[in-house]
Amino acid sequence: MKIFSNKNFVAWYFVFPVAFIHLFVIGIPSLASLALCLTDWRGLGEINYIGFENFIELFDDRYLKKAIINNVIWTIAFLTVPVGIALTCAYLLTGIKRGQMFFRLAFFFPYMLASVINCQIWKYLFHPIHGLGGFFERIGWEFLAVSPFTTKSTSLFAVAFVDGWHFWGFLVVIYLTGMYQVDNHLYEAADIEGATKFQKFRYITLPMIRPVFIFSIMIIIIWSVPVFDYVYILTGGGPAYSSEVIANYMYSQAFERFDVGYSSAIGTLMFFYVMIIVAMFGLFRRAGWDI
Amino acid sequence: MIVAKYRRREVISNYIILIIFALIAILPLAVLLFNSIKPQMEFGVNPLGPPNEIRFENFSEAWVKGEYAKVFFNSLKLVVGSVFLCLAVSLAAGFSLAKLNPKGSAIIAVYLLVGISIPAQLYIVPLFLLWKEIHLLNTHTGLIIIYTALNAPFATFLIRSYMIRLPDELFEAARLDGANTFQLFFRVALPLSWPVILTAGLIIALAVWNEFLFALTFISEEGFKPMATILFAFQWRFENNYALQSASAIMMVAPVAILFMLFQRRFISGLTSGGLKG
């Protein structure tokens, strides 16, 4: 049994526990799901192979279509608003001396909070009587007079707003790490040329932080796929599916209707989408994009 | 520091914009804090401002009505168990990937990298059925195993990137003194790695304390639920009692806030670097 005390083999002992737990919890169930999406299983009884029927059903499912569109809107919203605000704040932060640390902590702290907490805070603040709506009414404005969570046209954006409020501080910190690495001489040279604040941002800061910037774009796209907590807690996807997202729809298919095959098909779809995004960014890196 | 590039007037406008955003981040939390010490009677006339009359009994009342002694204990059990198990397996794996590099270990690294980006929706249903089959539903052990698997890839990479910078000479010297691989791990690598152990531990603890989806799915029995899902239920149970709701929320935030004040840099660098590598 010499091989088991071989140095190379001992090194493997150290990796086994992680590999085992991860395979047990995530790897094997993932493979099971990739197989179950081709069946009509409902968690009990016989498992019948039905080919791609679940996927054919998926493409006819108008609630899922609504959910996919909402996820796309969600992704676009996150790629614009929090990114824009975070870039602005990070850039302004590099231009001040005092209070840098304070601002950084203030922006970052909401990122540390649990989704339930953030949802509770904003459910209260968007309450038409107690929250901001009541406040605006007292000063004579009619704004937020009904809860945006219960209005069809605004529910998705209201939920995305709460998640974004909690998330953008994370982006500030990421962009800051990139901006601190920019050589100060570049700005001094630009000053001599008489460049404006915006020009300096556009032609020096932005190109110099491209690696972190592209990274942030990638994680936003990937993290926008499985959004669940905020939708489930705040609106449950309603009213009338107006804030439904894929993860929440999948959850109801799985744990309310117990349609294992169908929910696995939705999970499979999400998985392949994420893998394509990851592969795309990997290819960009190969192609010399310097990410 | 990039300071020279601004004139005085620009600095003032910078501060104004930054203060506005800082208020947007902080004021909602201030309202929560105010409401947690406000008597329920006062909400009708003063829903957003600081309390006119301070009432700390909200906390004791919420503590008793929500049976938070038990809930806190549940959450604490999950946090301690997950941090312990996850650190144990990740330290070993990180050490191996950084210093031993057995042939073919790159496969494990790639597997874990892919593992980070698999959406939970892919595996949660089969995992649920598996947990039901082996009687791990509604147990803290079951959830601790899940949390370990969820956080292990991140922790492994964080630890690996730290240990890779430990000087090789130390390990070679210990080898020459006759240390075997386990002794290299316990006597050389671990004592030098406490900063990354602390960082990884804090991040795992935070993730477990805040986690919602798996706690919701795998623990349905009231007595075993952790803070996150209890608070969710509490919001429905005491729908209009904002004083109690806010006091409970503050109880869940308080440990996070205290740890954040003590270890700001660790939290920020851990949370961002983990993401940067993933």
Compute the half-sphere exposure of residue A188: CA atoms within 13 Å on the CB side of its CA.
7
For B100: left if phi > 0, alpha if psi spans -120 to 50, otherwise beta; the answer is: alpha
Q: How far apart are CA A50 and CA A29, in angstroms?
A: 20
Q: A288 CA to chain B: closest CA distance, Å?
A: 18
Give which of A271, A85, A80 is closest to A157, Cα–Cα.
A80
A-chain residues near B111 (CB < 8 A): 19, 22, 27
Q: What is chain A's mean pLDDT, rounded? A: 88
For A23, half-sphere exposure in the C-beta direction (CA atoms, 13 angstrom radius) is: 8
Q: Which of B83, B82, B95 is nearest to B157 (CA)?
A: B95
DSSP state of A202: I
Confirm if B49 and B27 have CB atoms less than 8 A apart: no
C-beta atoms of A17 and B93 within 8 A: yes
pLDDT category, A170, cuts 50, 70, 90? very high
Predicted TM-score (pTM) of the model is 0.91
Yes or no, beta carbons of A233 and B264 under 8 Å apart:
no
Residue ranges of chain B with per-residue pLDDT less than 50: 1-5, 275-278
In this structure, of A31-40, A214-223, A233-242, B39-48, the range with the lowest mean pLDDT score is B39-48
What is the rounded CA–CA span in Å between residue A216 and residue A122? 25
Task: Compare A87 and A196 and report the one with higher pLDDT.
Answer: A87
- Residue of A86, A176, A156 whose CA lies nearest to B24: A86
User: Does residue A182 belong to the interface with chain B, where contact is any CB pair within 8 Å?
Assistant: yes
Per-residue pLDDT, averaged over A222-229, amounts to 92
**Between chains, do A116 and B118 touch, taking CB under 8 Å as contact?**
no
Q: Hey, which residues 93-132 in chain A have their CB within 8 Å of chain B?
A: 93-97, 99, 102-117, 120-125, 129-132
pLDDT of residue B6: 55
A37 touches chain B (CB under 8 A): no
End-to-end Cα distance, chain B: 28
Q: What chain A residue is nearest to B28 in terms of C-alpha separation?
A: A121
A135 with B48: Cβ contact below 8 A: yes
Residue range(s) occupied by CATH 1.10.3720.10 in chain B: 67-237
**Are A14 and B93 inside 8 Å of each other by CB?**
yes
Mutate to test the interface with A, among B86, B125, B258 (most CBs of A within 10 A): B125
Rounded Cα gap, residues B256 and B263, in angstroms: 10
Domain locations in chain A as residue ranges: 55-289
Q: Please work out, in degrees rounded to the nearest 5, the angle formed at the alpha carbon of residue A39 by the alpha carbons of A35 and A43.
A: 95
> Identity (one letter) of the amino acid at B160?
R
Given this model, what pLDDT does residue A286 score? 80
Report CB contact under 8 Å: A96, B206.
Answer: no
- Give the ipTM: 0.89
Cross-chain residue pair B152–A34, CB shorter than 8 Å: no
| B56 or A6, higher pLDDT | B56
| Shortest alpha-carbon distance between residue B208 and chain A (Å) | 10
Considering CB atoms only, which of B10, B210, B232 is closest to A95?
A: B10
Q: How many residues does chain A have?
A: 291
Residues B244, B155 contacting (CB under 8 angstroms)? no
Of B32, B111, B268, the CB nearest to A121: B32
Closest Cα of chain B to A104: distance in Å?
A: 9
Give the residue from chain A lying closest to B263, CA to CA.
A105
| Chain pair A-B, CB pairs under 8 angstroms | 298
State residue B150's pLDDT score: 94
Fold held by A55-289: MetI-like fold (1.10.3720)
| Chain B contact set for A103 (CB, 8 A) | 18, 22
Question: Which amino acid, residue B263?
Answer: F
Q: For residue A153, give how far its alpha carbon lies from the nearest alpha carbon of chain B (Å).
A: 24
A264 has a chain B CB within 8 A of its CB? yes
Contact of A88 with chain B, judged by CB distance below 8 Å, is answered with: yes
The fold for domain B67-237 equals MetI-like fold (1.10.3720)
* Mean pLDDT within A29-45: 86
Own/partner contacts of B57-66, CB < 8 Å, gap of 24 or more, are B58/B243, B58/B244, B58/B246, B58/B247, B59/B247, B59/B250, B59/B251, B61/B244, B61/B247, B62/B244, B62/B247, B62/B248, B62/B251, B63/B251, B65/B238, B65/B244, B66/B230, B66/B234, B66/B244, B66/B248
* Gap between the Cα atoms of A113 and B254, Å rounded: 10
Would you call A240 helix, strand, or coil by DSSP?
A: coil
Chain B residues with beta carbon closer than 8 angstroms to that of A188? 4-5
Rounded to a whole number, what is the distance in Å from the CA of B248 to chain A's nearest CA?
10
Is residue A210's pLDDT more than 60?
Answer: yes
Inter-residue long-range contacts of B247-251, CB under 8 Å, 24+ positions, other chains counted: B247/B36, B247/B37, B247/B58, B247/B59, B247/B61, B247/B62, B248/B62, B248/B66, B248/B68, B249/A116, B249/A117, B249/A120, B249/A121, B249/B32, B249/B36, B250/B32, B250/B33, B250/B36, B250/B59, B251/B59, B251/B62, B251/B63, B251/B68, B251/B72
pLDDT in tens, A238-248: 788 899 999 99
Considering only the beta carbons, identify the residue of B25, B90, B93 that sits closest to A110. B25
* Three-class SS state of A49: strand
The predicted pLDDT at position B195 comes to 92
pLDDT of residue B274: 54
Interface test with B, best of A22, A149, A230, A244 (most B CBs within 10 A): A22
CA torsion angle B211 B217 B222 B224 (round to 10) = -60
B125-158 burial code (b ≥16 CB/10 A, e <16): bbbbbbbeeeebbbebebbbbbbbbbbbbbbbbb
Q: DSSP character for A111?
A: G
Tell me, what's the pLDDT at A7? 66
Residue B110 distance to chain A (closest CA, Å): 11
Sorted by sequence, the CB contacts under 8 Å of residue A268 that are 6+ apart come out as: A33, A34, A37, B122
Distance of CA B273 to the CA centre of its chain: 15
Mean pLDDT of A165-174: 92
